[in-house]
């Protein structure tokens, strides 16, 4: 699953990935994003801007918004059939913006779990003369609008997961679907898209383009949200 992630990129780097999109000025670097918090997304609603949706999808037909806390992920293998996700998979898709995510490896012979920060391998930046920066990317996401009886419309989202690639299989048996930039346009198409057209995108990201860095248990507490979360242990 994907239950915690980071999004602390330089806005200039994000502009290279999403040219022509408006980026809100009040979005601050986040090093420990947790479910039910507001997260940065690009939705296929015709708006060329980054918006904030609540992480944890609430289907439009839900009676209780608490269901969202259990709907932070959707499995690629069943997303086209599950009642909670199938309509959104056809017509309400989004990019959930990130620059890394956390996973915890279960250690043999005990209850201990070791946290890792998983991200794209860094590339040298021309602007900083070789200093490496985090690379932004996008998870494949779905979104819905839920009409709250007392608070108006609420937009929520979920992140699709798949089987891990060869580099990550020893850490966890799932990984989020990371979309290649060339696939953004298809994922953000506004028209209904047949599941068979989208299914090939829901695959593990290439292992040779990713790295997993062991970090300290400082990240275990979701209240900790600063650069210490991603420091190597």
The 10s digit of each residue's pLDDT in 78-107 is 999 999 999 999 999 999 999 999 999 999
* Counted domains in the chain: 1
Band of residue 124 on the pLDDT scale cut at 50, 70, 90 = low
Q: What pLDDT is attached to residue 172?
A: 96
What is the predicted pLDDT for the residue at 15?
83
- Print the SS3 string covering 144-159: EEEEECCCEEEEEEEE
Instruction: Tell me which residue range forms the domain holding 34.
Output: 5-230
Rounded Cα gap, residues 231 and 221, in angstroms: 15
CATH number at residue 47: 3.90.1680.10
Query: What local confidence, expressed as pLDDT, does residue 10 receive?
Result: 81
Instruction: Give the confidence band of 131 by pLDDT, cuts at 50, 70, 90.
Output: very low
Query: Burial of 159 by CB count in 10 Å (0-12 exposed, 13-18 middle, 19+ buried)?
Result: buried
Global pTM reads: 0.94
- The pLDDT score that the predictor gives to residue 123 is 72
**In angstroms, how far is CA 57 from the centroid of its own chain?**
13
Q: Which residues are catalytic?
A: 2, 103
Give me the pLDDT at residue 109, please: 78
């Amino acid at each position: 699953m994907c239950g915690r992630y980071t999004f602390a990129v330089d806005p200039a780097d994000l502009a290279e990935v999403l040219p022509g999109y408006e980026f809100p000025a009040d979005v601050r670097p986040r090093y420990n994003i947790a479910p039910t918090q507001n997260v940065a997304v690009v939705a296929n609603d015709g708006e060329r801007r980054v918006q904030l949706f609540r992480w944890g999808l609430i289907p439009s037909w839900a009676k209780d918004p608490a269901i969202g806390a259990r709907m932070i992920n959707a499995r690629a293998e069943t997303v086209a059939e599950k009642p909670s996700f199938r309509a959104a998979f056809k017509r309400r898709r989004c990019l959930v913006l990130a620059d890394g995510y956390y996973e915890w490896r279960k250690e043999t012979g005990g209850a201990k779990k070791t946290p890792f920060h998983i991200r794209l391998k860094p590339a040298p930046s021309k602007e900083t003369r070789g200093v490496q920066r985090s690379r932004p990317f996008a998870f494949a996401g779905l979104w819905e609008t839920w009409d709250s009886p007392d608070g108006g419309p609420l937009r929520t989202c979920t992140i699709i997961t798949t089987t891990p690639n060869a580099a990550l299989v020893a850490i966890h048996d799932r990984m989020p679907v990371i979309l290649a930039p060339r696939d953004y346009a298809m994922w953000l198409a506004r028209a209904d898209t047949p599941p068979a057209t989208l299914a090939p995108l829901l695959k593990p990201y290439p292992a040779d383009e990713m790295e997993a860095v062991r970090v300290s248990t400082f990240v275990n507490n979701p209240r900790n949200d600063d650069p210490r979360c991603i420091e190597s242990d």
